[in-house]
Amino acid sequence: MNSIVLLKHWQSLSPIEQAAVLNLNVTVQQIEFAGTVERSVQTCQEDQVNEVAGLAIMQENSVAGFLLLRRGSSAPLWAGSGVVAISAMRIDLSQQGKGLGSAALRAVPDWLVAHWPESKEIRLSVDEDNQLARNAYARAGFADLCIREEGRIGWVRYMSRPVERANAREPVPC
């Protein structure tokens, strides 16, 4: 399915849209791996140096999900220098399975070009056993970096893609 989404910065959301973000229906497992939506919102609100962006995933003027982009000193160590990390991505349970997560990931490079134009690469970490997510990330142009590490909860893998759409990598088996 080819869904069209818009990424909208937390600070530009209306009060109703902000409430919809805070009321996203997510699983306990998503909270275990990514934390609460409230914590993600707090993280983007506390950012004073433009290193964290909280983005609502909008479809047809409704909030369908939320994700964080982190860079600089706010990015996790695994992201590396000059890399933007995607973290805490969630899609509301009622909207899952519609391709919105992949569509949001495909929209991130355009957001970066418009708002953080110096960005050259995007990375994310994913639970090694979460094959559905890994497949979705691959559909969105992310390539497995073939790095496997023990994470906070279990084994994780790292995936990456360049910001420019034309240079998206073909997935390479590890």
Kind and range of the H or E run holding 34: helix 28-34
Question: What is the CATH architecture assignment of 5-120?
Answer: 3-Layer(aba) Sandwich (3.40)
Of 71, 79, 63, which Cα lies nearest the Cα of 116?
Answer: 71
Q: Report the DSSP pairing between strands 155-162 and 143-150.
A: antiparallel
pLDDT of residue 170: 54
Tell me if 104 sits within 8 A of 5, measured CB to CB. Answer: yes
Q: What is the mean pLDDT of each run of 10 residues along the chain (174 residues)?
A: 84 96 88 84 93 95 95 91 91 90 92 93 91 86 90 85 65 60
pTM: 0.88
The Cα 70–Cα 16 span in angstroms is 25
pLDDT of residue 115: 94
Q: Bridge-partner residues for 70, per DSSP? A: 52, 85
Q: Name the strands in the sheet holding 155-162, side by side, starting at the edge strand that comes first in the sequence.
A: 6-9, 52-59, 62-70, 83-91, 121-127, 155-162, 143-150
| Tokens read off for 46 | 């506390």
